[in-house]
Chains A and B, each alone.
Chain A
Amino acid sequence: MTMLPKWYEIPLGGALTEPGSTRKVKTGEWRTFRPVIDQDKCIRCRICWAYCPEGAIREVDREYVTSKGVKYPVTYEIDYYYCKGCGICAEECPVKAITLVREYEK
């Protein structure tokens, strides 16, 4: 508490004058379960990317070739710094490529 600013140190009306300040909030610490993508099963449909309420799924320009030889130009990755572990991505995935793993089971 003592580290928080005094009333006169806060911008008037509690306005946030630093843009994008929520980027500093490490919501990844909130997780009990973490989603893990099976890149071999993933069909790159983009549904998890669209549904993630935190924007924590990234579309990365990295080619991936599955064990059956299907070649995809992109890879989906989860940003564990922000992912809260809500499980929406796993629920929405049409091919069940995302599974929720308990945090302590590394």
Chain B
Amino acid sequence: MPRLALTSNYATAYAVKMCDVDVIPVYPITPQTTIAEKLSEFVANGELDAEIIHVESEHSALSACVGAAAAGARVFTATCSQGLMLAYELLPIMSGLRLPVVMAVPCRALSAPISIHGDYIDLMVARDAGWIILISSCAQEVFDNIIQAYKIAEHRDVLLPVMVAYDGFLMSHTIEPVEVPDDENIVREFVPKKREWLYLDVDKPVTMGPLAGPDWYYEIRFQQVPAMKNAYKIVKEVAEEFYKKFGRKYDTIELYRAEDAEYLMIGYGAVWGFIQEAVDRLREKGISIGGMRIRLLRPLPVEDIANALKDRKGFIVIDKCLITGMPVGPVFSDITTALKLCNIDTPGISAVHGVGQRTMYIRDFVDLAEKCIETFKSGKIPRESIYLGLRT
């Protein structure tokens, strides 16, 4: 398989092209714009037979996605940050209408103050809108996740939209090697267009999105609960099939040097690389620590997380965003809920780093782990996040 030098945004565009997407409504926003640019280039060159809809806002982009997917098209869009917030209204509509749209989200901070830089607050604010969320950790995985996302979204037992998230700039604008099949038919065979969702058809008319009173709304919304449960299974199945075809392995979570580790350092997105490097350095010092990353954020793989964390002496979660009101990071909250549901009482510490793309160094993770292990030993677990690199 040829190796190309691609940013994660270009990896997204290549995957979208190979999945033979039909409609791309998109509005530019930093750091997403290069996806829209590359896809426009593919369409203009005739490399991709798709309709690019130039809209006047992200709200319109997502609205056009609803329409196009309701018409039975394979649809792609991408946005982040303020754009994602403006389009938020459409997120639960997409999941509520069960439309299998795939959206790339190169995550970026939210105003105010204005920041164009990488941060995961936009994704975390949007994580409960009924979309499946995959978080990628390198450009290769972004390429692979977009392809898997279509297979998951369009599976008849799922039929839910998928967000493929990754770090704005730190990944969206970093060139890395990406293996891309030279024959796009290999990808197209992997994600055949079966169109198993309910779509608008003049020969078989349907009404989509009617009013649902108190006697109906609950049952209709509840349909998403089993769909999300199925999604967990299908994410694993698709990863297995993907591995057989393309040779790269994925799961809901990923572990690194964790077999015998007393402690686990947990993150998502580009932080994963820093964690792996830090684990290596800590292991060299004789510290029993491993790494874990969340790939599937929604549906939350509760049991996989619990199994990975049981019988450990402690875990640290690094959230790359700052959420207030809750004293700990969003993914830390998710993980502690998963543990509580499974009756596991491994103590955890929440840490925040890389906010608004504050520079992260491997040594920050090494220092954090050493400090947290001392804290675990003392038994005095803090009840709020540790804020790394904050000028105090």
Q: Indicate which residue in A1, A6, A11, A19 contacts B198 across the interface (CB closer than 8 Å).
A: A11
Q: Which residue of B lies closest to A17 (CB)?
A: B206
Q: Which of A1-55 contact B (CB under 8 A)?
A: 1, 4-8, 10-17, 19, 21
Q: Indicate which residue in A4, A6, A7, A16 contacts B207 across the interface (CB closer than 8 Å).
A: A16
Q: Does B219 contact A (CB under 8 A)?
A: yes
Q: Which residues of B contact A (CB under 8 A)?
A: 96-98, 159, 197-198, 205-210, 212, 215-216, 219-220, 222-223, 226
Q: Indicate which residue in A1, A5, A7, A21 contacts B222 across the interface (CB closer than 8 Å).
A: A7
Q: Provided the pairs A12-B197, A13-B198 are in contact, do residues A7 and B206 lie with their beta carbons within 8 angstroms?
A: no
Given known contacts A4-B219, A16-B206, A17-B198, what 9 new A-B pairs fall within 8 Å (CB)?
A: A4-B215, A8-B226, A10-B220, A11-B206, A13-B97, A13-B198, A13-B208, A13-B209, A17-B206
Question: What is the CA–CA distance of A10 and B219 in the complex, to the nearest angstrom?
Answer: 8
Tell me the minimal C-beta distance from A47 to chain B in angstroms. Answer: 30
Q: Does A15 contact B208, Cβ atoms closer than 8 Å? A: yes
Tell me the minimal C-beta distance from A5 to chain B in angstroms. Answer: 7
Q: Which residues of A contact B (CB under 8 A)?
A: 1, 4-8, 10-17, 19, 21
Q: Which residues of A contact B219 (CB under 8 A)?
A: 4-7, 10
Question: What is the CA–CA distance of A5 and B210 in the complex, to the nearest angstrom?
Answer: 16
Question: What is the CA–CA distance of A79 and B212 in the complex, to the nearest angstrom?
Answer: 27
Main secondary structure of the interface of A (DSSP, over half): loop
Q: Pick 28 A–B contacts, CB within 8 A, sort by A.
A: A1-B215, A4-B215, A4-B216, A5-B219, A6-B219, A7-B219, A7-B220, A7-B223, A8-B223, A8-B226, A10-B216, A12-B159, A12-B198, A12-B223, A13-B97, A13-B98, A13-B198, A13-B208, A13-B209, A14-B212, A14-B216, A15-B198, A15-B209, A16-B206, A16-B210, A17-B198, A17-B206, A19-B205
Q: Does A15 contact B207, Cβ atoms closer than 8 Å? A: yes
Q: Which residue of B lies closest to A19 (CB)?
A: B205
Q: Which residues of A contact B222 (CB under 8 A)?
A: 7
Pick the most buried of B96, B97, B208: most chain A CB atoms within 10 A of its CB: B208
Q: Which residue of B lies closest to A7 (CB)?
A: B219
Q: Indicate which residue in A8, A12, A17 contacts B98 across the interface (CB closer than 8 Å).
A: A12
Tell me the minimal C-beta distance from B61 to chain A in angstroms. Answer: 21
Q: Which residue of B lies closest to A14 (CB)?
A: B220
Q: Which residues of A contact B98 (CB under 8 A)?
A: 12-13
Question: What is the CA–CA distance of A17 and B203 in the complex, to the nearest angstrom?
Answer: 12
Q: Which residues of A contact B220 (CB under 8 A)?
A: 7, 10, 13-14
